[in-house]
Structure 1
Amino acid sequence: MNASSAGVKALKVAAGKDADGNAQYRIQFSSATTGASGDFQVYSGTSADVAAGSATNLLTAPGSAVIKTAQDASVRLYAGTTAEQTITSSTNTFTGLLPGVDVSVSKASSDPVTIGIAQDTSAATAVASGLVSAVNGVLALISTKSAVVNSTDSAGNNVVSGGPFTGDSTVRGVNDALVTAASMPVNGHSPSEIGISITKDGNFEFDQDKFSAALAKDPAGTQSMLATLASRVADAATTASDKYDGQLTGVITGQQSIVTDLNKQVDEWTLRLTDRRSALEKQYATLETQLSTLNSQSSSLSSALAGLPAVYTGA
């Protein structure tokens, strides 16, 4: 049964021992779904017996016990007034009990319950603060990698060296796009109105108190502006780093292509130089053989000359 799609689960529960000391068990059935729709009956007999009404209902048979009847959870609103109404749910959660409000109940109670509803600003504040931190993190990385450093070499000479992003127009364009996305007005309103402002150093600041005040005054407008800022920053980031046609992706692909081409040229020159070295070694070997032959001939000639008789040339 537990492996079927009947929607009912069975569990064997220990029920003590009989007079002979043998263990006894009960079978506990439960619905796989909650609420009144999970109600079920268990019969002993065939489908035909059930249809004919001759099957035994095990849930009502002598000795059986119904622990809990399937039912929906319910709440009464405006109890004791002309506007009283009962709302039901197949679970303990009432979705949309009030516009934008879900309510979960934990136990039955006949006593009136008052629900207080207040806006949760922590989530929106965390999003705004996280957006500012993320943008500042990228801008700080670009600034660090673009900095020019003055140093001195071992000889005392002044050395000026740049970072990997120094002078890179593509990276500079990405920086400008992010700054623009996070600082430009939204529908004529500056982001500084909701606590997101840019400093003279090009970084962003987040004023939590100002953001909370804006959220309390105009929740929809503040959230809309924040969503627009986040969307613009996301678009700028995608334009820069999309894995298929992003600006930085194009630069990286181009640099990788250059590296591949240079490695190919190095490999080709390595083969040429290897062949040239082999040819020169052969030439040098031939020259050494020839020089050895000439030295041998020179020694023989010197010996021959030394053996000739002296010739008198005097008057």
Structure 2
Amino acid sequence: MRKIGRPFRHRLTRSALRSATPVVTAAALLFSLAGCSDGGNSAAARPGPEVTAPSVKPAPVWRTDPGSIAALGDSITVGFDACTVLSDCPEVSWSTGTSPKVDSLARRLLEHPARHSWNYARTGALMSDLPDQVDAAKARRPELVTVLIGANDACRSDVRAMTSAAAYRADFARAMKKLRRALPRTQVYVAAVPDLLRLWSEGRKNPLGKQVWQLGICGSMLHDPDNLTEPAVSRREKVRDRVVAYNEALKDVCAEDALCRFDRSVFDYRFTERQLSSWDWFHPGTRGQEELAALAFRTITGRAPEE
């Protein structure tokens, strides 16, 4: 009789094994083999290695209050012909200018615009020059880079001399890749190339402007501005189509970068001759520079554009 409180333990002795029926012995052996084997469902009963979910990098956040700006681009960004004839006037640049007449992007965003903004744009620059401008700017480590370039690629002596859309895209992609390698956290604002056909339609209203254009400004678009024959109209449409292709390239390449914003409104903006330089009726005057600054400010400080 088993005492209360003591655990009952069944021990299978040698004599018991010898006297056990074959069925019982086989069952015990089978149970023992199943417990030691790696086959069957035994693996499911054992806890497997702990699976750790891969860490997810947070998406870069666009800041609406960058602390420094570097401007890249062409004559528009250095204020060419905005103050005096045939001269750069960077103090009225839409991006980094210090003049209160324009209220530039730097003046709107930075506490000390003169100390924390730099202009590396160059009159006459093409998209193929942008990678070199990136090299010049990267030492400053700006928090925001502005880009407005492409009018010179379309404004050639003849439509056959325009930069191809493929070359334009490749040069912009190369510049962005170089910028991102050097400045992984820098934000990039990319302005669309302005509508050169609208420039022709507005500027030709001024007789003095048309005389200035005869000196050879943007011959692909502005040559013989009063000529409305089919070949002349077709020539201007080819220039506009090329600008549209440039802007598609800017949009596509920019969309691949989480810290890049493309601003089509610069192409869509319906400027008048009042925003053009009174020296050449081609470049933006101070009013035009002010409008460019306002468009850029809205894009940089606004919500992320809808996909």
Q: TM-score range by the shorter chain?
A: under 0.3
TM-score by length of 2: 0.22
Q: Comparing both structures, which one devotes a greater share of its residues to strand?
A: 1
Larger radius of gyration: 1
Q: Which has the higher contact order (CA 8 A, sep 6+)?
A: 2
